[in-house]
Copies of this chain bind each other. A is one copy, B any other.
């Protein structure tokens, strides 16, 4: 089995092998194997979102092991559920893959999806496996609001504080590290005693790119604190805040100190990758899945106890800029360019 391909096992065999690795939580009333799954929706509403990852666009099989791709695909969707103020309950996975895909790869993917779902108590409840030239992983996440009103992008009000939880730029900087052709030369330019710390920071960034860490529980917790708007920062800080500003009819002003504080010490990354790369990743790097919320200012201390960092404030107007002046416009990733 270790050397088998998808073609060797066939669709049914592959699905059986994958399903056997997927424990089902108590909220799963019917798991994989039938025409459809049945999942508890105790709230009487279900939150649902879909994200697609394509080989060569969102991941490379030579850069990311299958397990990391699974964790990342799950994280992208689970973060969207959390950003509504909901708790994820289930994942469904559509996989298109060439016939020569090693079964080990499919199983690694399933393990990654399973383990990331388990972080929030969710289960992989179903899916479909078909033949395709490239690997395409389409994940749908379901979630339960537990009685909360969904927190959209449209509720931010002037006077609210903008809070971030999680990492903004590390994933983008990890991708940068993978892409820089002269990384070893740059590292060689450091004093030898500094090398281990620099390598550690780069490894951490690359890990974050391969499978991001997402502060899932902060989503429902910020909703409970009265968050007026929320989203994840998967398109980049400026792009996602702008979409929130547009939806809410307000202006967001960022404060440099808070934005820098959210991501912690990245001096090693500055030394190796350069100030411009770090600045761009902070403002425009995607796939980081920090949660961004606007909260009434009295809720700020409680948000800080959840790990939230004040990034700025909501004012009347439109667009996104620095509080000290200067407009910010998205320089994001365009999928079709």
Please determine whether B334 and A48 come into contact, CB atoms closer than 8 angstroms: no
* A336: chain B residues within 8 A (beta carbon): 5-7, 9-11, 14, 99, 131
Query: Which single residue of chain B is at the shortest CB-CB distance from A99?
Result: B336
* A141: chain B residues within 8 A (beta carbon): 36
* A44: chain B residues within 8 A (beta carbon): 40-42, 44
The verdict on A214 contacting chain B, using a C-beta distance below 8 Å, is no
Digit string of A118-130 for contact with B (CB within 8 Å is 1, else 0)? Answer: 0000000111111
Please determine whether B140 and A48 come into contact, CB atoms closer than 8 angstroms: yes
Known: A38-B84, A131-B54. A48 touches B94 (CB 8 A): no
The verdict on A198 contacting chain B, using a C-beta distance below 8 Å, is no
Please determine whether A136 and B36 come into contact, CB atoms closer than 8 angstroms: no
Cross-chain contact of A34 among B7, B43, B152 (Cβ < 8 A): B152
Stoichiometry, copies per complex: 2
How many interface residues does chain A have, given as a range? 35 or more
Known: A10-B336, A134-B132, A145-B38. A48 touches B92 (CB 8 A): yes
* A152: chain B residues within 8 A (beta carbon): 30, 34
Please determine whether B46 and A334 come into contact, CB atoms closer than 8 angstroms: no
Query: Which single residue of chain B is at the shortest CB-CB distance from A291?
Result: B35
Known: A11-B335, A39-B46, A51-B94. 18 other contacts (CB 8 A): A29-B45, A30-B152, A33-B247, A35-B80, A38-B45, A41-B41, A41-B46, A46-B46, A48-B142, A50-B92, A50-B93, A50-B128, A52-B128, A52-B138, A53-B130, A132-B134, A133-B134, A136-B136
Name A's B-contacting residues (CB within 8 A).
Answer: 5-7, 9-11, 14, 29-30, 33-54, 56-58, 79-81, 83-84, 86, 90, 92-96, 99, 125-134, 136, 138, 140-143, 145, 150, 152-154, 230-232, 247, 334-337
